[in-house]
Chain A
Amino acid sequence: MDDEHSKYDPAILPDYLPIYYRRLFPYKEYFRWLSYGNANGLVSKSTFQNREFSFTLKDDIYIRYQSFADQAELEKEIIKRCPYKIDIGAVYTSKPKDRSPAITLTPVEKELVFDIDMTDYDDVRTCCSGADICHKCWPFMTLAIKVIDRALKDDFGFQHRLWVYSGRRGVHCWVCDEEARKLSVSARSAVAEYLTLIKGGNTGKKFTLYENVHPLIQESYTLIKKGFLDLAIVKQDFLGSKVECNKFLKFIVDDGLRKLLEAEFESLDTSKQRWASAVNVVRTTLEQGSLKRNGRHCIEEVMLSFCYPRLDINVTKGLNHLLKSPFCIHPKTGRVCVPIDPEDADSFDPFTVPTISQLVDEFNEYEEKNKGSGDTVRDVKKTSLQKSLKIFEKFLRKLEASWTSKKIEQNEATMEF
């Protein structure tokens, strides 16, 4: 693990969390997001009030079905409970905290969410496994963000996509368009399956490309192609060993071609050489016209299998599935679950995401330096969390602009009478 990470010690959480929640957690923006414009009268208050939150307290005490009347109550409860983790659930037909055997809670809406986890890449990444990540494998996530974000925007027409670092080894995406929030369970699963190319985690060939390639795959391939050489060859060294080469060879269905490549690989040393020769050999064989229909796109298949995003589709399918909230602290790493700007996904580095200890130190330092100066700077702006808040702001402004235009439409509609 990186040096910076070693600074964090989970034992400090009970001391630091109260400071974080009292001084730094961006309640105002958080509420602006989840109330979806009820200040403008565009949605009813219940959009926020019927929303389920669940808290994980110290020692894994888990309390579900929390709900709050407004920002003040949310703030008060979070500060009082000091949760190690906050999850956001669905908006229900009634207030989740009032639930009783007599009132059945039915989920009515929730953001369309996606969860991409680095552990699902264990069969392709060569650097780490399990919960660990490093600079060599994070680009898988960067590519995943780009591919999924493009599809959500261009294919489904979703405008408001909030990408968030999960605090440890993955990313989440919250699609907040009204149409997305109101999707049925079957629509969610259809979207998830549309976006899923690679099912299951085992090695081997998962799909076959033919002459007609779906635009989703075409567009995803274009994005993946740009990052492939750097990720697969430079960072992952994915043809570096015999084992890795064999994984690759499993993708070649044509026996003749596979034997040819196997021999080629034997005579070469590096991933770079091997890849270049594979591309060449396949091209020549293709030109000779001796490949069957199901083997003509093997190079593209390898690239997609290696890099195409692996979604945990159960998270997306369920309307009442809970997902970790943005701006939580990951208890194991201490890092804040900060928003990621998908347009600038390349520059996001999980190892520079502030940890709670870093934030509290920065805050104290600032206070020390400016003691008695009487400035009115907002607490969170005294820390490096400010940068993440700006990304969140950008997302919120766009979301709010859509309400304003809706509001105008509504007004115009009523003016007619």
Chain B
Amino acid sequence: MLIGGGKKRVRKVQKVSGDGQSSQHPHSHTLQFYRIPPLGNISLQEFERFAVERLKALKLFENVSLVFTRGSEEYKNKIRTELRKMGLKTFLRTMGQEENDADVDASHEERRRDNISHFILRLAYCKSEELRRWFIQQEVDLFRFRFLQESAVSIKEFLEQNDLAYAAISQEEKAKLRRRLIGATFDMGDGLFDSSDFYRVPFTEALDLVRGRKVYLRHGYAYIPSSELVSLVCACFRLELSKALARTARMFPIIEEQERLLPMLNHINEWYLGEDYGSRKTKASGEVTANMVDGLCQESFPPCMQQLNRAVRTDHHLKYNGRLQYGLFLKGVGLSLDESMRFWRSEFTKLIELEKFERQYAYSIRYNYGKEGRRKDYTPYSCMKLIMGAPPAAGDHHGCPFRFTAPDLLAQRLKGMKISSTQADSVMEMVKGNHYQLACSRCFAAVHDQPPDDMVAIDHPNQYFELSQRILHPEKESTGASLKQPRPSLRSTGTMNQGECLPSGAVTQTVEESLGR
């Protein structure tokens, strides 16, 4: 399998590095610019595992950056502890920790995985502007975090390997500009000044520092202190990655892995790294009946499902995507096939003949429960699926309302819920930042009188439902009823649930096939 395909790039890097082995090898340093795509073979299982591992790390960076300021001590500590908890220590590794040959081998293997997983996610996240932006942001944060862990010596080595050797200004120039440099440079005292080097670069290479007025600018050049070098390198990393993703997006249509990888890649960005709420686990819960749906909806359904319930009750109909989304959700809530059938029939037959219902709709309801066609037991859609999936057209009611409802209409709907206007504002604030899941979490906290906790993002409508039931009926839990323990959002043990949210079951199928071979 050949990932990426930046042949030209490879040649260039080789030419620049000159001295052969050490500098051109992608595994020669813990930090990578990912200029050289991996070559060689990996199994499909590895492909998937690497991707999921990295995705978990990137999601962690996203979540933590919403709560703490990037680069602050709390931020770094939180990342460190969570990475450890999740078993992703590989991202905490720095240069020169190896004590023997076995360690060297291990760290080379880690770097290889780092490289491969990065390139897999490039493929999965190159398709749309939105995906690219998300991926770049998290990758840059990950890179910055790792860069700051490295020692000065290791950083120097890295910069040289990657042709980023910035030349410091002379001592005379530094002395001449002393007053201005101290005044301009963020957090710079006299002591720090003496020990610091300054690098002169075109201001366009240090936009973040220029923007924050954190560096001295003169005639179009910014004077960067050693302590802010990370900002330069990150800007460079961001630029290269953004160009590479654009290139990958153009190459994507001619990728030769149509059958095996494409379906997998297409869904990696929707993978949801947690509980899948499939009916296997809710089988015990046959006690939810069609008659209870309205009551439970009122009590505990998330906004995306409330809007579908409202639609089906008023229109006595739901379009295809809405039926799928709501039907699978109800299955996750605990409606048995018979009850589900009753629910849809009673509503749809207000508008159409029973016979027509049986002919047109009953099949797909049974299909959802794995009783028809491919006989696959489908799992309810996760938030990612609802956010990234097909946007609702006119007459549609599916999808994530925080993502797809016009902001003023959404604000109005929030007011209609049992939440204060301050709370509604805080929800809208998250929506504006495109943090739809956090918006939903805040909404949840407001409705349930819980303190808002941005570390627990709602990432599945059924999770919303179950958390809600647990708060409203704590007694059920003690009686060992069907409702499960809610899980924290940043799971350390999240196993990949293959095939989750894929109506076609494409990934499961592919992987199983390859296992059988």
Contacts and interface: CB of A to CB of B under 8 A. Distances in A.
Contacts of A93: none
Contacts, number: 50
B387 interface: no
A129 B210 CA distance: 33
Nearest to B221: A157
A285 B124 CA distance: 63
B306 to A, nearest CB: 37
Given A186-B207, A187-B207, A194-B211, A214 B183 contact: yes
Interface string A148-192: 000000111110000000000000000000010001101101110
A216 interface: yes
Interface string A204-235: 00000000111110100000000000000000
Contacts of B216: 214-215
A193 interface: yes
B218 interface: yes
Given A212-B182, A214-B213, A190 B220 contact: no
- Chain A: interface residue count, which band? 20 to 34
B44 interface: no
A250 B493 CA distance: 54
Given A194-B213, A213-B183, A215-B183, A157 B219 contact: yes
A191 B206 CA distance: 11
B204 to A, nearest CB: 5
A190 B217 contact: no
B217 A156 contact: yes
Given A157-B221, A212-B188, A190 B183 contact: no
Interface in A41-78: none
Given A156-B203, A187-B204, A216 B217 contact: yes
A190 to B, nearest CB: 4
Given A212-B182, A214-B184, A190 B208 contact: yes
Nearest to B222: A155
B413 interface: no
Contacts of A193: 211-212
A187 B220 CA distance: 12
Interface string A190-206: 11011000000000000
B89 interface: no
Interface in A103-157: 154-157
A215 B210 CA distance: 13
Given A157-B219, A157-B221, A216 B213 contact: yes
A183 B220 contact: no
Contacts of A158: 220
B218 A155 contact: yes
B370 to A, nearest CB: 44
A200 B203 CA distance: 26
Nearest to A192: B211
A154 B219 contact: yes
Nearest to B188: A212
A175 to B, nearest CB: 12
Interface string B168-183: 0000000000001011
A194 B208 CA distance: 10
A213 B185 CA distance: 9
A53 B86 CA distance: 56
Interface string B443-472: 000000000000000000000000000000
B134 to A, nearest CB: 17
Nearest to A183: B204
Given A212-B183, A213-B183, A215-B183, A194 B217 contact: yes
Nearest to A212: B183
Given A212-B183, A214-B213, A215-B183, A157 B207 contact: no
A187 B206 CA distance: 9
A185 to B, nearest CB: 11
Nearest to A191: B210
A186 B210 CA distance: 11
Contacts of B208: 190
A215 B218 CA distance: 10
B352 to A, nearest CB: 39
B182 A190 contact: no
A194 B210 contact: yes
Contacts of A191: 210
A157 B213 contact: no
A93 to B, nearest CB: 15
A145 to B, nearest CB: 20
A158 B213 CA distance: 18
B330 to A, nearest CB: 42
B210 A190 contact: yes
Contacts of A157: 218-221
Contacts of B188: 212
Interface in B231-248: none
A190 B220 CA distance: 13
A155 B211 contact: no
Contacts of B184: 214-216
A241 B391 CA distance: 58
20 contacts: A155-B217, A156-B203, A156-B217, A157-B218, A157-B219, A157-B221, A158-B220, A187-B204, A187-B207, A190-B211, A191-B210, A193-B211, A193-B212, A194-B213, A194-B217, A212-B183, A213-B183, A214-B184, A215-B180, A216-B217
Interface of B: 180, 182-185, 188, 203-204, 207-208, 210-213, 216-221
Interface of A: 154-158, 179, 183-184, 186-187, 189-191, 193-194, 212-216, 218
Given A213-B183, A215-B180, 11 more contacts: A154-B219, A156-B203, A156-B219, A187-B204, A187-B207, A189-B211, A190-B208, A190-B210, A194-B210, A212-B185, A214-B183
